[in-house]
């Protein structure tokens, strides 16, 4: 199975599997079942890539991190413990890779995508994540993206991880090394700032996190 740098994947190369849960698939992969890995990759690659590209705000960095995360999943398959959700395992690796990258580069994630590159559209989004679902006009979408970029890295990470991974705040706190209340506070501040930036025009769906963060 080949993981393309842009996160693309040919679903035709994956034979259908049953409704096995992620933990079982990961155990089967650890035992040598490549079909199990292909199913895990197909299930989680979009959410992972969108989290990385929106957090890093640079497709080339996200591509490198995407490859690194899956490489570490492969390398650490035997260490996976089935009592932990695979998504938690995956996004913990993603968080650590992101932190390590910026420690190595001695920079903060403030660079923008190359001119003409819209990082929101690197991968096709599910309908509820499409620009039309996020903002009612191109101007509002740009304001949303600017507000997201302006968030402190810690708040942006919690917000994006909550949006993309479907993990609970308790799980996100454990991944990022903070308590659940700290994660909830960061999410609340992020949602509040995004809503404030768009308050004059309204917002169709800034985040599903709003009710949990309030």
Same domain, 133 and 107: no
167 lies in some domain: yes
Same domain, 39 and 105: yes
Q: Which of 80, 10, 85, 95 is nearest to 45 (CA)?
A: 10
CATH code where residue 168 lies:
1.10.10.10
Helix 169-176 crosses helix 86-105 at what angle (to 10 degrees)? 40
The pLDDT confidence band at residue 182, using thresholds 50, 70 and 90, is: very high
The pLDDT confidence band at residue 114, using thresholds 50, 70 and 90, is: very low
CATH code where residue 102 lies:
1.10.1740.10
**Buried/exposed 42-60: b ≥16 CB within 10 Å, e otherwise:** bebbbbbbbbbbbbbbbbe
- The CA distance from 163 to 51, in Å, is 8
What is the predicted pLDDT for the residue at 200?
A: 56
The pLDDT confidence band at residue 51, using thresholds 50, 70 and 90, is: very high
134 lies in some domain: yes
- Residue 104: count of CB within 10 angstroms of its CB: 8
DSSP 8-state secondary structure symbol assigned to residue 3: -
Assess contact for 92 and 81: CB atoms under 8 A: no
143 lies in some domain: yes
Q: Which domain holds residue 84?
A: 20-111
pTM of the model: 0.70
Same domain, 92 and 153: no
Q: Tens of pLDDT along 52-82?
A: 999 888 889 999 999 999 999 999 999 898 8
- The CA distance from 101 to 106, in Å, is 8
Same domain, 58 and 95: yes
- The CA distance from 76 to 56, in Å, is 24
10 lies in some domain: no
What is the predicted pLDDT for the residue at 2?
A: 39
When comparing pLDDT for 19 and 77, which is higher?
A: 77
152 lies in some domain: yes
């Amino acid at each position: 199975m080949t993981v393309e740098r842009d996160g693309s994947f040919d679903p035709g190369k994956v034979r259908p599997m049953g409704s096995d849960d992620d933990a079982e698939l990961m155990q089967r992969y650890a035992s040598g079942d490549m079909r199990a890995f292909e199913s895990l990759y197909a299930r989680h690659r979009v959410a992972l890539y969108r989290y990385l590209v929106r957090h890093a705000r640079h497709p080339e960095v996200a591509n490198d991190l995407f490859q690194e995360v899956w490489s570490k999943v492969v390398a650490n398959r035997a260490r996976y413990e089935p009592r932990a959700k695979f998504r938690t395992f995956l996004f913990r690796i993603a968080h650590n890779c992101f932190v390590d990258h910026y420690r190595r580069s001695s920079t903060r994630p403030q660079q923008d995508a190359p001119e003409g590159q819209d990082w929101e559209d690197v991968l096709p989004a599910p309908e509820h994540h499409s620009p039309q679902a996020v903002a009612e006009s191109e101007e509002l979408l740009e304001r949303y993206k600017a507000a997201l970029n302006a968030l402190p890295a810690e708040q942006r990470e919690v917000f994006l991880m909550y949006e993309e991974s479907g993990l609970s705040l308790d799980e996100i706190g454990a991944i990022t090394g903070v308590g659940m209340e700290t994660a909830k506070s960061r999410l609340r501040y992020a949602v509040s700032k995004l809503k404030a930036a768009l308050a004059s025009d309204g917002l169709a769906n800034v985040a599903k996190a709003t009710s949990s963060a309030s």
